[in-house]
């Protein structure tokens, strides 16, 4: 089979290793052809969107890297339906800038770097505003994915409410390509709030806030992000007090050698934070139970992980110096079922092989 996809030298060859082929498919059919061939030749394949989540999971030593940067079109945007259909390689920042021109947002991560929509979905990450709008997996209406063996599979539909067959879009979120490369998806949109405010209050102060966009806490302060009508925001600002900015001032995600995501039941978060190493920086999404941690080493993280797992949570590595600290921790109890399910979509296990918990 001839692969028409452009072949390029990759600048970061040193990073990827010698002999690694790189491809940039520019159509869904090309992606399907590329992966069918990868399966035929059993080539370990790494999918690369913006590269912002490549630090998550077990390391993949690829024979082939497929970039999604040539699958970056906005296919259909219906502002009145509050839906947009985009290809997986669209950059989050570009999409949000486009949607903002009509006062809408897909509520994607606030500090995306060069991240893509497909990468964010595959990694299962959400932005801070999930407190108001739900996590990413709640906002994917339709997905088109190319499976490891090159099948083009669609699930869901371009409407905001749907129960027509198994919810493929939802399970693709966080699957790291194991069920398929996300080549296009339909996202639910929301109107951008007319009025916004960021309130800074002393950490630990208990407040009764109604439908915040987010409540973020770090070592020095708690910030409450409000959005809505002028009346709604203004009223809450008056009631809550604190230092106020009339815009949303999102924190930069702390950057250190190591980064982790701690995910625990919301009410257990404060106790776990108390036991965090003193040299670690963090952003705690209050009420959600997700804590983004940056630290100079993995010291103390094994203890934190065991506490998190004891309450049904997890501590995962999102960026690391490779020192043997396990990236995922204890795999989920349904591992056998997950392995079988992935085999139904990627029988030769060519996309990100071994990356998931349990080295699936």
Site for another protein in 54-93 (CB under 8 A): 78-83
Q: Binding segment for another protein among 87-95, 107-115, 163-171, 275-283 (CB under 8 A)?
A: 163-171
Q: Which of residues 101-140 bind another protein (CB under 8 A)?
A: 103, 124-126, 130, 134-135, 137-138
Could you give the residue ranges of the DSSP H alpha helices within 226-334?
230-240, 269-274, 301-310
Whether 120 contacts 108, CB under 8 Å: yes
In angstroms, rounded to a whole number, what is the distance separating the alpha carbons of residues 14 and 347? Answer: 30
CA 176 remoteness from chain centre:
10
Reduce the DSSP state of residue 223 to 3 states and report it. strand
In angstroms, rounded to a whole number, what is the distance separating the alpha carbons of residues 284 and 286? Answer: 6
In angstroms, rounded to a whole number, what is the distance separating the alpha carbons of residues 268 and 287? Answer: 10
Q: Report, in Å, the least distance between residue 161 CB and another protein.
A: 4
Q: Report, in Å, the least distance between residue 266 CB and another protein.
A: 6
Among 52, 222, 318, 338, binds another protein (CB under 8 A): 338
Among 41, 73, 205, 340, binds another protein (CB under 8 A): 340
Binding-residue pattern over the window 6 to 45 for another protein, x denoting contact by CB under 8 A: ----------------------------------------
# of chain residues touching another protein (CB under 8 A): 88
Question: What DSSP character marks residue 268?
Answer: G
Q: What are the residues whose beta carbons fall under 8 Å from the beta carbon of 117, sequence distance 6 or more?
A: 86, 88, 89, 90, 91, 92, 95, 106, 108, 182, 185, 187
Q: Which of residues 178-207 bind another protein (CB under 8 A)?
A: 178-179, 190-194
Binding-residue pattern over the window 313 to 332 for another protein, x denoting contact by CB under 8 A: xx-x-----------xx-xx
In angstroms, rounded to a whole number, what is the distance separating the alpha carbons of residues 91 and 118? Answer: 9
Phi, psi of 339 (to 5 degrees): -60, -45
Q: Judging by beta carbons within 10 Å of its beta carbon (0-12, 13-18, 19+), is residue 43 exposed, middle or buried?
A: middle
The DSSP string of 81-122 is GTEEEEETT-BHHHHHHHHHTTTEE----SS-TT-BHHHHHH
Q: Report, in Å, the least distance between residue 11 CB and another protein.
A: 32
Q: Using the minimum distance from each CB to another protein, give the nearer residue, 64 or 264.
A: 264
Q: Which of residues 254-313 bind another protein (CB under 8 A)?
A: 261, 263-267, 288-290, 308, 311-313
Whether 213 contacts 131, CB under 8 Å: yes
Among 35, 95, 168, 214, binds another protein (CB under 8 A): 168
Rg (alpha carbons) of the chain, rounded to whole number: 21
Among 42, 59, 166, 257, binds another protein (CB under 8 A): 166
Q: Which of residues 206-235 bind another protein (CB under 8 A)?
A: 210-211, 228-232, 234-235
Q: Using the rule CB under 8 A, is 163 a contact of another protein?
A: yes
Q: Using the minimum distance from each CB to another protein, give the nearer residue, 80 or 202.
A: 80
Q: Report, in Å, the least distance between residue 322 CB and another protein.
A: 19
Q: Using the minimum distance from each CB to another protein, give the nearer residue, 22 or 83.
A: 83
Q: Report, in Å, the least distance between residue 28 CB and another protein.
A: 12
Q: Binding segment for another protein among 8-16, 36-44, 91-99, 333-341 (CB under 8 A)?
A: 333-341
């Amino acid at each position: 089979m001839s692969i028409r996809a452009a072949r390029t030298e990759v600048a970061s060859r040193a990073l990827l290793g010698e002999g690694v082929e790189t491809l940039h498919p520019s159509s869904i059919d090309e992606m399907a052809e590329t992966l069918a061939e990868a399966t035929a030749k059993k080539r370990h394949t790494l999918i690369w969107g913006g590269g912002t989540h490549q630090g998550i999971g077990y390391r993949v030593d690829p024979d082939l890297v497929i970039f999604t940067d040539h699958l970056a079109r906005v296919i259909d945007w219906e502002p009145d339906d509050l839906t947009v259909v985009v290809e997986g390689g669209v950059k989050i920042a570009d999409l949000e800038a486009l949607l903002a021109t009509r006062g809408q947002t897909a509520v994607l991560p606030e500090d995306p770097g060069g991240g893509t929509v497909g990468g964010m979905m595959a990694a299962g990450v959400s932005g801070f505003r999930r407190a108001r709008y739900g996590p990413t997996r709640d906002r994917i209406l339709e997905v088109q994915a190319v499976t490891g063996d090159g099948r083009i599979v669609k699930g869901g539909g371009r409407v905001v409410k749907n129960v027509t067959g198994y919810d493929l879009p939802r399970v693709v979120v966080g699957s790291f390509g194991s069920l398929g490369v996300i080549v296009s998806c339909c996202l639910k949109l929301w109107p951008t709030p007319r009025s916004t405010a960021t309130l800074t209050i002393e950490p630990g102060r208990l407040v009764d806030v109604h439908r915040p966009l987010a409540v973020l806490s770090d070592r020095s302060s708690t910030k409450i992000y409000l959005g809505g009508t002028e009346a709604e925001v203004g009223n809450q600002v008056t009631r809550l007090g604190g230092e106020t900015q009339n815009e949303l001032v999102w924190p930069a995600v702390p950057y250190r050698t190591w980064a982790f995501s701690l995910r625990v039941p919301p009410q257990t978060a404060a106790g776990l934070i108390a036991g965090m190493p003193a040299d670690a920086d963090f952003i705690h999404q209050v009420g959600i139970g997700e804590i983004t941690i940056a630290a100079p080493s993995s010291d103390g993280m094994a203890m934190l992980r065991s506490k998190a797992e004891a309450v049904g949570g997890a501590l995962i590595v999102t960026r690391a110096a490779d020192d043997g600290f396990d990236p995922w921790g204890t795999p989920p109890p349904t591992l056998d079922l997950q392995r079988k399910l992935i085999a139904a979509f990627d029988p030769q296990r060519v996309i990100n092989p071994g990356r998931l918990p349990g080295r699936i």
